[in-house]
Amino acid sequence: MATPSLPVTLVTGAGRGLGRGIALRLAALGHSVAINYASNEAAAQETAELCRQAASFDSQQFLAIQADVGAPAGRQKLLASTLETFGRIDALVNNAGMGPKIRTDILDASEVSFEEVLRTNLQGPYFLTQLIARYWLSAKPVPLLPHGFKVVFVSSISADTASLNRGEYCVSKAGLAMAAQLWATRLAAESIQVFELRPGIMATDMTAGAKQKYDALLAQGLVPQARWGTPEDVGLAVSALLSGDFPFSTGAVIPIDGGLHLRRL
């Protein structure tokens, strides 16, 4: 069991990419981390080892948990495994997500792809939040984070920026943005804070295939800060939220996009 004085955070999709960046920052902050992954066990175990190297205390623990967040059984496994190993959970970071396997014009997009993407990107985090919120409200554990338990939804600039060759991804992230608003409203009176982080053009596996396209757009000034975002950028934002630096906030939408969201002439 982890030392009771250390908070425990569950990060979905933490085997690589943004999730790994989040897990590493939380390790440095002194959290034990449940590292969820879908299929790449080697990457998840690598994240766990990197977290151990970044940890602030010897008593921190890092557990890789294979589970499909889009399936009810997977979500139950995540909660049960986290509680079995750590004895508690103080924060949930809904980071797991996927793009369509084939980018195609919305005139040609398939219902199979639409259902797959929404199941992982929207249905999964929506009902995982429900599951963990029910646990908090029924078991009534004492939170170890300042100002109570916390939920973070990692959405995307695609929540309000249209990409015609991946419509299902945009719809899923727009829905996730509303899910964050709904859960923030429902849980505010229970001293549970909810936030939405909205990353822009991030250097991850998901964007690797479109690197030349985005490099050109960056060179043309699309992003005011003129660089790619990184997993560390998102990790820093999560660590600030979980550290209690925003005590009188919930439901806030925080862009992590170098100013891409700014309306300019």
Residues labelled as active-site residues:
169
Determine the Cα–Cα distance for residues 75 and 85; give it in Å rounded to an integer: 16
* Residue 11: strand pairing partners: 35, 93
Q: Is the CB of residue 249 less than 8 Å from the CB of residue 193? A: yes
* CB contact at 8 A, 69 and 78: yes
Picking from 6, 2, 3, 12, the residue whose alpha carbon sits closest to that of residue 238 is: 12
Give, in degrees to the nearest 5, the angle at Cα 138 between 134 and 141. Answer: 105
Return the number of other C-beta atoms located less than 10 Å from residue 67's C-beta.
23
Give the separation between CA 9 and CA 88, rounded to whole angstroms: 9
Cβ neighbours, 10 Å, residue 263: 4
The values of phi and psi at residue 249, to 5°, are -140, 140
Angle at 233 between CA 41 and CA 261, to 5 degrees: 120
Question: Is residue 209 classed exposed, middle or buried when 0-12, 13-18 and 19+ CB atoms within 10 A define those classes?
Answer: exposed
